[in-house]
Amino acid sequence: MSLFSKIAFCAVSISALLLLNIMPVKAEVNRLQINQDKCVKCHKRNGLMAGVHGNDALALTCQSCHGEKGKHPRQPSLIVGFSADSNTKVTAQVDSCSQCHEHDVLYQADWTHAVHSNKVGCANCHQLHSDSDPMMTLATEERSALCGKCHGITPKESDDEKL
């Protein structure tokens, strides 16, 4: 077997493995009830739900979190947006999550919930659409670094700062 054919064989087998791994997951996501919603017709790229909140057993719809469509997209509407550039007030974003998540339970899970509840939207840290929420697997170092992202003031000149 020449070197070229060896490389080609490896490439084919790796991509086949990847396809085998990804395809069923994608198909599964597409089959979820929430992803049959009419919103997905337009929001296929940014709207598909792969996370636990899309689980059929929860029977959530897009409207459960984002609110009623109203006159969207032709005219302004009261749709609750969670992205960083959303116009929705933080309190409205948090209220949406608070329909199910009680604040004292969240506090038990992590104390930082108590001090951010009316200052930062849940989606600033949590991601619901992706298949896993990065906050669920956060290492201690990453957690500290995340706090610094908002709370950090002008970084000191350098690590070698004089005494």
Residues near another protein (CB under 8 A):
103-104, 107, 111, 114-115, 117-118, 140-141, 143-145, 147-148, 151-153, 156, 159-163
Q: CB count, 10 Å around CB of 16?
A: 10
Return the number of the residue (20 or 163) whose C-beta is nearest another protein: 163
Q: How far is the CB of 2 from another protein (least distance, A)?
A: 48
Reading phi first (left if > 0) and then psi (alpha if -120 to 50, else beta), residue 148 is in: alpha
Q: Least distance (Å) from another protein to the CB of residue 151? A: 5
Minimum CB separation from another protein for residue 123, in Å? 17
- CB neighbour list of residue 34: distance below 8 Å, 6 or more residues apart: 49, 54, 56, 60, 61, 62
Q: How far is the CB of 134 from another protein (least distance, A)?
A: 17
In the bound state with another protein, the residue whose beta carbon lies nearer, of 45 and 156, is: 156
Closest CB to another protein among 8 and 150?
A: 150
Residue with smaller CB distance to another protein, 85 or 141: 141
The span from the CA of 163 to the CA of 159, in Å, is 11
Min separation Cβ 133 and another protein, Å: 20
Q: Which is nearer to another protein, 41 or 151 (CB)?
A: 151
